[in-house]
Copies of this chain bind each other. A is one copy, B any other.
Amino acid sequence: MMNYTKAASSQAFKNKKLLFRQLFEKDSSTYTYLLADVAHPDKPALLIDPVDKTVDRDLSLVKELGLKLIYAINTHVHADHVTGTGLIKTKVPSVKSIISKASKSKADLLIEAGDKIHFGDLFLEVRATPGHTLGCVTYVTGDGSDQPQPRMAFTGDALLIRGCGRTDFQGGSAHQLYQSVHSQIFSLPKETLIYPAHDYRGFTVSTVGEETQYNPRLTKDEEMFKSIMENLNLPYPKMIDIAVPSNMVCGLQDLSVKPVDASSN
């Protein structure tokens, strides 16, 4: 039994500025997160990891809540679903898409470790957490008494609740993932809320305190972790050949460029 009960009183945000919604896409078990500064006159908002098939749901909610969506952000190039960032831009052209420079993908803004993404008086801090893919980042809400407390970490597939993303595709590396999680996520305060890109068992949130004590993979030493990751025997990701090329360009292939094969037929 853990002693992080104080840490575990999750979602006890002290910040009245933050509007926060967690949204779920069932086919890929993906979480999309909506954050907004509702104390700011513009009510600027951002979406983290939107999915193409739930874009209409997400934009309806943004409209109903009276928010102004300014950013559509990915934690990494997903292999299991097509991102909604490109589709969002076709529907709300003022939105800027964001992904890491290390992902080698196209987006309006390419971010790196240490960058800050401001929305109103709130911001997300970028931490590089490669290992599931080369370009994975974790977005952490701002540090400071005027920012939400406890902090919230949007970990993508780097750290899942009692799990982690696979490391056998897309430049994955068990060594790198282990170092990323320990140095960039487990180093956050124990009460920090963990919001992953997926959950397959119905959990919605965890904390750094919980994962440092109960994560069955990342509580092991690095050699044991590498051995676990090498022996997962997971099937080839069924969406990877469609999703990855598409997600390198915000989920929308550039339809104005005809494929060479098609023009030669």
Contacts and interface: CB of A to CB of B under 8 A. Distances in A.
A67 B24 CA distance: 27
Nearest to A12: B13
B26 A9 contact: no
> Which interface class (under 10, 10 to 19, 20 to 34, 35 or more) fits A?
35 or more
Contacts of A3: 66
Interface in A38-88: 38, 43, 54, 57, 61, 63-67
B15 A19 contact: no
Contacts of A17: 9
Contacts of A114: none
Contacts of A66: 1-3, 5
A29 to B, nearest CB: 8
A205 to B, nearest CB: 7
A210 interface: yes
Copies in the complex: 2
Contacts of A38: 5-6, 8-9
Contacts of A16: 6, 9, 12
A21 B202 contact: no
Most chain B C-beta atoms within 10 Å of own C-beta, residue among A12, A61, A66, A204 = A12
B65 A5 contact: yes
A2 to B, nearest CB: 5
Given A8-B38, A25-B202, 19 more contacts: A1-B63, A2-B66, A3-B66, A5-B19, A5-B38, A5-B43, A6-B16, A6-B38, A9-B17, A10-B21, A12-B13, A21-B203, A21-B204, A22-B204, A24-B202, A57-B202, A57-B203, A61-B203, A64-B214
